């Protein structure tokens, strides 16, 4: 099969980690008989430098005409970058918001899984970790504060900034359905996170989620306030299966969840629309301070590519092969700098990509020898 992938390397470490994901995908194609064709698209700071805007109409059209999108990272240092002394709609992250909106990517899926091999890198105590944790954070991606009306102006002589948080029942219902569908394939538990004790939008959120839950009698639904959820993630992460929440809460909680996996460099991400189309990206940022040093962790991007194989292309066997290769490399003790300990072997970004790619298809070789 042939698959057309729009590739957005982006800024900072983006091009480096994207290169390793492509390396792994090409190995998958070689082993399993697929061809992945890549079309590079500029977005973020590099697009600002080239075209004056973070996302051009042409770039968005290329993404729309692809089978999926693979994204590295966008942006720079907020406090020290030429890209931020401009209007908000011209900053690198505006391109990210625009492509999510333009592709109708309303459902963000972020797994947070603790590999046994990385338990020492987890900042939590061993008695809290227990047997580990395996959760998915389902974040609504095209509504809420990030897309509401905003302005900064003088009101009665005082500079005032306003950001508007808006959700309607249809936006809430469609993300809730996605969360319950995923829960049905997992441990059948949904924790809906809101701030219903304060916000009208959260009270509507809670009511709609409860209505959706009626169609999934096998799934256990609980509600949790966002501040309590942030606390529970570091007190008892193993309690969670699927966390369902709105845009800003999901942005914060998924970063917290990523760090208790040992490193944000391990957390993959998928953003889906109502079809199988998705944009796949690591949950971390562009890390400009280490860009070009060949020390970034590419695993989150590689695992995002595995999610693409599974969710957009229905290549479950190939996705599992990538995930198994990552796990095997970790078992063998190879680590990039962010997850390194003295008992392991430190490798570069490119070396980690090579190691993972080399192990793609090993299971097929073993099966052939056994015959």
Q: Which residues are catalytic?
A: 146, 195, 227, 251, 255
Helix, strand, coil abundance in the chain, percent, nearest 5: 45, 20, 35
**In the chain, how many H helices and how many E strands?**
13, 14
**Measured between alpha carbons, how far is 349 from 26 in angstroms, rounded to an integer?**
17
Q: What is the DSSP string of 232-248?
A: HHHH-GGG-SEEEE-HH
**Measured between alpha carbons, how far is 204 from 192 in angstroms, rounded to an integer?**
12
Q: Is 5 helix (H, G, I), strand (E, B) or coil?
A: strand
- Which H/E stretch holds residue 213? helix 200-213
In this structure, are residues 269 and 283 in contact, taking their beta carbons and an 8 Å threshold?
Answer: yes
**Measured between alpha carbons, how far is 254 from 257 in angstroms, rounded to an integer?**
5
**Measured between alpha carbons, how far is 320 from 310 in angstroms, rounded to an integer?**
8
**Measured between alpha carbons, how far is 144 from 146 in angstroms, rounded to an integer?**
6
The structure tokens 């009270």 sit at 203
**Measured between alpha carbons, how far is 126 from 237 in angstroms, rounded to an integer?**
12
108 forms bridges with which residues in the sheet?
139, 271
Rg of the chain on CA atoms, in Å: 21
What secondary structure letter does DSSP report for 278? Answer: E
Is the torsion defined by CA of 126, 128, 133, 135 positive or negative?
A: negative
Which residue in 162, 145, 144 sits closest to 153, CA to CA?
A: 162
Which residue in 113, 102, 101, 95 sits closest to 140, CA to CA?
A: 101
HSE of 92 in the Cβ direction (CA atoms, 13 Å)?
26
């Amino acid at each position: 099969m042939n698959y057309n992938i729009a590739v957005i390397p982006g800024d900072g470490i983006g091009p480096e980690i994207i290169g390793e994901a492509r390396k792994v995908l090409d190995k998958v194609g070689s082993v399993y008989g697929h061809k992945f064709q890549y079309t590079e698209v500029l977005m973020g700071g590099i697009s600002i430098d080239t075209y004056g805007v973070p996302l051009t109409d042409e770039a968005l059209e290329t993404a729309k005409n692809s089978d999926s999108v693979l994204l590295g990272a966008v942006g720079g240092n907020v406090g020290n970058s030429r890209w931020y002394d401009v209007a908000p709609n011209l900053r690198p992250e505006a391109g990210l918001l625009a492509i999510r909106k333009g592709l109708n990517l309303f459902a963000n899926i972020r797994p947070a899984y603790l590999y046994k091999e990385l338990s020492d890198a987890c900042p939590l105590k061993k008695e809290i970790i227990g047997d580990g944790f395996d959760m998915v954070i389902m974040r609504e991606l095209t509504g809420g504060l990030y897309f509401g009306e905003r302005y900064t102006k003088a009101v009665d002589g005082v500079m005032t900034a306003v950001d508007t948080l808006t959700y309607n029942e249809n936006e809430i219902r469609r993300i809730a359905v996605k969360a319950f569908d995923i829960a049905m394939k997992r441990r059948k538990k949904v924790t809906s996170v809101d701030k219903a004790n304060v916000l009208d939008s959260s009270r509507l959120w809670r009511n709609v989620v409860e209505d959706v839950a009626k169609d999934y009698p096998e799934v256990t639904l609980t509600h949790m306030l966002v501040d309590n959820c942030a606390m529970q993630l570091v007190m008892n992460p193993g309690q969670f299966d699927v966390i369902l929440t709105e845009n800003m809460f999901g942005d914060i909680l998924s970063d917290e969840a990523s760090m208790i996996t040992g490193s944000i460099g391990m957390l993959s991400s998928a953003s889906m629309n109502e079809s199988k189309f998705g944009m796949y990206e690591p949950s971390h940022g562009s890390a400009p301070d280490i860009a070009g040093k060949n020390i970034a962790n590419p695993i989150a991007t590689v695992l995002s590519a595995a999610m693409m194989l599974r969710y957009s292309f229905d290549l479950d066997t190939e996705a599992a092969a990538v995930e198994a290769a990552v796990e095997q490399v970790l078992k063998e003790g190879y680590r990039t700098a962010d997850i390194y300990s003295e008992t392991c072997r430190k490798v570069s970004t490119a070396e980690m990509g090579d190691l993972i790619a080399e192990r793609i298809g090993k299971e097929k070789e073993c099966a052939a020898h056994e015959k």
